[in-house]
Structure 1
Amino acid sequence: MDQPLPPLFVSHGSPMTALDPGAAGAFWQRLGQAIDATFGHPRAVLALSAHSLTREPVLLAAARHPTVHDFGGFPDALYRLRYDAPGAPALAPRVQALLDGAGIRAHAVDDGGLDHGIWVPLRFVYPDADVPVLPLAWVPSDPPAAQFALGQALAPLAAEGVLVLGTGSITHNLRLVVSFTGRGPVDQPERAESAAFRDWFAQRSAARDWDALFDYRRQAPHAALMHPSDEHLLPWFGAAGAGGREHAPQRLHASVTYGALGMDVYAFGAQAPALARALQAPALA
């Protein structure tokens, strides 16, 4: 690779996005094309998902990952979808060494499987399932600053052809969603509280106001409403840490489904502006 890969945070949304991709799915397709055109095809993806949580960090270092349908009540067609990607067991010792150097102990196991927070977006970003994936299950009780520190330890991976991918949701309160299983108004107007939270997050990101972002639960408007628990937002901080404090996070995509489920995508680090420019190229528009 000629230049490091920018770490990413992708709001993965409802599992139904796999069948009805909408604006977010169309963006994910362009995202993979832009990454490849600008930086080259990633050697691997290190995935931090809101649906892979543990009491201590654990690397799922299987040689191959089956598709995990970790949800219920959806149409049968969704359960027939497969995204069985190769694993990246050879990358696990490198990640363990980086985390150990930061005082973070991580375990590696031979088990595997991609939860929907990983395979739903990757199905559009890299539809051939040809990029090895190493999920890193993380500790949801650690606050944003600690998640950022974990990401900082992973920063060298960007120059080694590894895409650090945090996946969750920029807003996530399913009690506000009328129906999440393909029978509800996916395109209903956005709630004002959701818009206010997403706008605040984008503004504080552009200003590199890390103190405010780390303290978002007190400072962001409607934070508790948008995130009754914050496991879907914490992967943002892990990916941000991999990009570093020096560079402003770039919001690459902004959309909403079901009126309150934000689908925003962010890039981090010195190469984030290059990716943003590539996404504006006519061939990708």
Structure 2
Amino acid sequence: MQEHALPTYFLSHGGGPWPFMKTEFGHTYDALEASLRDIPRQLGSTPKAVLVVTAHWETDQFTVSASARPPMIYDYYGFPAHTYEVQYSAPGSPELAARVKTLLDGAGHATALDAERGFDHGTFSALYPVYPQADVPIVQLSLRHGLDPLTHVEAGRALAPLRKEGILIVGSGLSYHNLRAFNAQGAAASHQFDAWLRATMALPPAERTAQLLTWEKAPAARMAHPREEHLLPLMVALGAAEQEAAAMPYHEDAFFGALAVSSFRFGQAEA
């Protein structure tokens, strides 16, 4: 048990296998990559493992990846052939998976283990810049069908003890996720929603949670998130550090030329 509770993160993870497409994307992802590479400095030490709440896995009940050697899941389409051969060989942690299940079960969330689940791009694209040596164990947690915000905040609350056990909790999604308007067409909606999101993060904890639970009332909410699976990982990261201040380690006003996107950290950085 460590004295200092690790912060939690909501990371806007970018699109597809972007870290492995530097030639194709040029400088598009430079700011996001720099923010991810800075996380080890912010933490001050290497966590025992990372628990990733991924936007790319939904199940009837919360489910935890429990493979000791997770395979790869290439859950994207139309990318160059080499991106379907990417390997991110970080180990899993059946022990952490069991601990996560115990915490969630204990809070009334019936939880399953999946010994076959591999790393999806919401996990390996976000974590590769953070730990390029793939030497930190990673466990994934699914979203629960229905995508109820309170259910996911409550799951985060149940997982909060992990922060003092050396486990880094990461929600991996995108603060703007309308793939039909991932260009100038979505600029206004992304900026309106992002401004609301940033303002909400600065509120006192109880008010902040209340606002996020009713996120659909935000300006341009359904334009920014026609379906909210890329926002829900934020709820878990928030719930696990609910009383702590938020910071914004990443923000862009012209992502893909026009979009506003952000990442958030809950809790103090060490460095």
Q: Do Structure 1 and Structure 2 share a fold, with TM-score over 0.5? A: yes
Partner of 1:25: 33
Partner of 1:242: 240
Partner of 1:62: 67
> RMSD in angstroms over aligned alpha carbons?
1.9
Partner of 2:215: 216
Distance 1:13 1:216 in 2: 21
Higher mean Cα deviation, 163-172 or 77-86?
77-86
TM-score normalised over the length of structure 1 = 0.85
1:192 to 155, 169, 188: 188
2:84 to 57, 76, 79: 79
Partner of 2:115: 110
Give the Å deviation of 1:23. 1.1
Task: Give the secondary-structure state (helix, strand or coil) at the position aligned to 1:64.
Answer: coil
Structure-to-structure mapping, 1:136-155, within 5 angstroms: 136-155=141-160
Task: Give the secondary-structure state (helix, strand or coil) at the position aligned to 2:119.
Answer: coil
Give the Å deviation of 1:160. 0.2
Give the Å deviation of 1:253. 1.0
Distance 1:196 1:3 in 2: 36
1:205 to 201, 204, 217: 201
Give the Å deviation of 1:77. 3.0
Partner of 2:25: none
TM-score normalised over the length of structure 2 = 0.90
Partner of 1:254: 251
Asked if the contact 2:194/2:261 (under 8 Å) is kept, the reply is: no
Task: Give the secondary-structure state (helix, strand or coil) at the position aligned to 2:210.
Answer: helix
- What 5-or-longer segments of structure 1 have no aligned partner? 179-187, 279-285
Give the Å deviation of 1:109. 2.5
Distance 2:179 2:160 in 1: 32
Higher mean Cα deviation, 7-16 or 43-52?
7-16
Asked if the contact 1:140/1:231 (under 8 Å) is kept, the reply is: no
Partner of 1:6: 7
How far does the alpha carbon of each residue in 1:227-282 deviate from its partner, in whole angstroms, 9 at most, with x for none? 001010000001100012x223222211253256554211113x2xx35xx3xxxx
- Larger strand proportion of the pair: 2
Distance 1:224 1:267 in 2: 24
How far does the alpha carbon of each residue in 1:121-169 deviate from its partner, in whole angstroms, 9 at most, with x for none? 1110000001111111120413212110010000000000001110000
2:55 to 50, 58, 62: 50
Asked if the contact 2:40/2:130 (under 8 Å) is kept, the reply is: yes
Task: Give the secondary-structure state (helix, strand or coil) at the position aligned to 1:125.
Answer: coil
Distance 2:258 2:63 in 1: 31
1:124 to 112, 123, 129: 129
- What's the % identity of the aligned pairs? 37
How far does the alpha carbon of each residue in 1:150-205 deviate from its partner, in whole angstroms, 9 at most, with x for none? 10000000000001110000010000025xxxxxxxxx797122111111101011
Total equivalences in the alignment = 259
Distance 1:84 1:257 in 2: 29
Distance 2:234 2:241 in 1: 11
Distance 1:261 1:148 in 2: 27
- Which of structure 1's runs of 4+ aligned residues deviate more than 6 A? none
Distance 1:143 1:45 in 2: 24
Give the Å deviation of 1:84. 1.9
Asked if the contact 1:13/1:262 (under 8 Å) is kept, the reply is: no
Distance 1:262 1:89 in 2: 37
Amino acid at match of 2:102: A
Change beyond 3 A, Cα 1:222–1:260: farther
Give the Å deviation of 1:22. 1.8
Distance 1:87 1:167 in 2: 17
Distance 2:227 2:110 in 1: 25
Distance 1:74 1:81 in 2: 12
- What 5-or-longer segments of structure 2 have no aligned partner? 23-28
